A and B are shown apart, each in its own frame.
Chain A
Amino acid sequence: MINQQLALLRREIWEHRSIWVTPVAVATVVTFLAIAVVVAVGAFGEAMNADIGKIADMTAPENVRRAALAASLVGNTSVFVMAMWFLTIFYCLDALYAERKDKSILFWRSLPITDAETVISKLLVVFIAIPLATFAAVVVSHLLNLIIVSIWLATEGANPGRMIWGAVPLFDTWAAVLSILLALPIWLAPLLGWFLFVSAWAKSGPLLRAVLPIAVLPILEYIVFKTWVLGEAILTRLRMDNIPLFDGMKNANFDEDELRSMLTENLSLVSWLDYGAFLTSVEVWAGLIVCGVFAGGAVYLRRYRDDS
């Protein structure tokens, strides 16, 4: 059972190379950007005849450096999150469509694997494999970026060991990043379930068939009932800041005192995340149920569809 799921997962990664190619591509671009920034800042310092590295080394206190480093890592991560958002959606649209388009479905179905097991493997890709692949790329990208900055600081005569590695809250940031990467597909679950269903159902053009109802139905609802329930529900899911994991941050008012205390204390991103709110959120669980219903529909279609 577990071996079979692992084989199915491996199969998904062979077929959908974008699962790892996308994060690797983003990591490459981000790393080149980091090099470009370092070169630009170095050139700026030279032009201004200022020793930027040394100035930073002398002036910034440790907790500020810590906050600044965490902020830069989060900024870096946001590019990965955006890429993952698109990757996951396009994966779902292709997951059960490609095998019908290239007719390989008859081969897959000639093996002793149930349709439910196949669809479960696709869900595991969405909820686990893609977030983990993205997380691995984020970690490598963070390390590369910090190494690049360290090398530059060292050439500027500053002490990167103290400035960077002594201050950067790496594990705290990574724990927060992993939490967010895992929470994102769960938050998007009802939409992802719908996309997976369409990929099992559409005879052609799954993207259009998936997006059109999402766009048109809320408008119809508004015209007919003068309500905006469906539209609100869909838009809520599309905005990442609505994930209940961020509830704590939303309710906090970031006034001057709070911001100052954040910088004077040691900053921890994980402590900002509201795991309790996420796990007890009705919206999260309702979304997973909707996803389950659509996934069940996809299993049904794969099993009962008869194209002859």
Chain B
Amino acid sequence: MSSLVTAKNVSKYYGNLAAVDNVSFEVEKGRILGLIGPNGAGKTTLLKAVLGLTDCQGQLSVLGLDPFRQRKEMMKNICFIADVAVLPRWIRVSQLLDFVASTHPNFSRSRAEELLAATKIKKESKVRELSKGMVTQLHLSIIMAIDAKLLVLDEPTLGLDIIFRKDFYGNLLNDYFDGERTILITTHQVEEIENLLTDIMFINGGKIILDSSMEAIPDSYAELLTSGEDAETARRLGPLHERDVFGKHVMTFENVAREKLVGLGEIHTPSVADLFVAKVKGAAA
């Protein structure tokens, strides 16, 4: 079984509002999937369903288990960081290591201590005495010392400065990701994780509006920088979205062969952020 997460027609309603609206997708083993969407798009709800934190309709299987009903079994092989501030503030670093070591069967205390030794975090410190960046380092050190099959990161770097964010993702790729593990990330800072991802999934209004591997993006999407007459010609090809930059037009095309665009201007593969805007706004238009 290479599919780690399988969702078939998964929905989650809050009253009449569908936070997740009949979505289906699969996450294969060894992938790094970015789940991208605006606030209130249903990202967090979908992650909560995957983590067994909320019940949902439809069929959802994670590591072959029902995340809500077989949660304990599943959590032996899943780690998640929901937000930077969730470590209890009263606990000492050494106590935290003791606790995780005695409750998590796949936790390597020596690995965590190795990772912590590379930071300025002292074992006798309490979490409340640490800076926000250090708390994340601590959390990450614990998570990275757990031999898990799936790592879920929900806005892991929210509120952290840019140097720290770079280090965070650097560590994640170099020390953690080994091709066997699978990572699921949501973030607003798409640019920072773009090079990291093997797959992306856009979610808006509770629906998945794009689900693709990064390699497949250039085949389906193209961005054209154009002006004047060419712009008119290009517009007839039906761009998904168009925006103006310094008097020029930037058009995003979906499933339009690049040969048709040749000669009309500069052709690029859109960045994830631009593609996201094009998909969301294009769908709204």
Contacts and interface: CB of A to CB of B under 8 A. Distances in A.
B45 interface: yes
Contacts of A106: 82-83, 86
A111 B76 CA distance: 7
A99 B103 contact: no
A112 B90 contact: no
B54 interface: yes
B88 A15 contact: yes
Contacts of B79: 110
B88 A110 contact: no
A3 B102 CA distance: 7
Contacts of B103: 4, 7-8, 111-113
B58 interface: no
Interface residues of A, number: 26
A262 B89 CA distance: 55
Interface string A213-243: 0000000000000000000000000000000
A86 interface: no
B75 A111 contact: yes
B95 A14 contact: yes
A292 B76 CA distance: 28
A113 B72 contact: yes
Contacts of A102: 88-89
B105 interface: yes
Given A10-B99, A113-B103, A308-B44, A107 B87 contact: yes
A18 to B, nearest CB: 12
Nearest to A8: B103
Contacts of A107: 82, 86-88, 139
Interface string A1-45: 001101110110011000000000000000000000000000000
Contacts of A11: 95, 99
Contact of B105 (A10, A15, A112): A112
Contacts of A308: 14, 19, 44-45, 48, 54
Contacts of A110: 51, 75, 79-82
B55 interface: yes
Contact of A111 (B53, B55, B92, B100): B100
A114 B71 contact: yes
A113 B75 CA distance: 8
Contact of B72 (A8, A14, A112, A306): A112
Contact of B102 (A7, A15, A103, A114): A7
A104 interface: yes
B82 A112 contact: no
B90 A14 contact: yes
Given A111-B104, A112-B104, A306 B75 contact: no
Nearest to A15: B90
A304 B56 CA distance: 11
A306 B48 contact: yes
B212 to A, nearest CB: 27
Contact of B87 (A14, A15, A104): A104
A113 B71 CA distance: 9
Interface string B82-114: 110111111110010011101111000000000
Contacts of B14: 308
Nearest to A11: B99
A110 B96 CA distance: 13
Nearest to B74: A112
Interface in A101-128: 102-114
A227 B98 CA distance: 53
Contacts of A7: 98-99, 102-103
Nearest to A3: B102
Contacts of A114: 71-72
A187 to B, nearest CB: 31
Nearest to B104: A111
Contacts of A6: 102
Contacts of B72: 112-114
Interface in A293-308: 304, 306, 308
A107 to B, nearest CB: 4
A109 B105 contact: no
Interface in A149-208: none
A113 B89 CA distance: 20
Given A7-B99, A7-B103, A111-B100, A14 B55 contact: no
Given A10-B98, A11-B99, A112-B104, 17 more contacts: A10-B99, A14-B91, A14-B95, A103-B85, A105-B86, A106-B83, A107-B82, A107-B86, A110-B80, A111-B75, A111-B100, A112-B105, A113-B75, A113-B103, A306-B48, A308-B19, A308-B45
Interface of A: 3-4, 6-8, 10-11, 14-15, 99, 102-114, 304, 306, 308
14 contacts: A3-B102, A14-B90, A104-B89, A106-B83, A107-B86, A107-B87, A110-B51, A111-B75, A111-B103, A112-B76, A112-B105, A113-B72, A306-B48, A306-B53
In order of increasing CB-CB distance, the 6 nearest A-B pairs are A104-B88, A7-B102, A112-B75, A106-B82, A107-B86, A112-B76
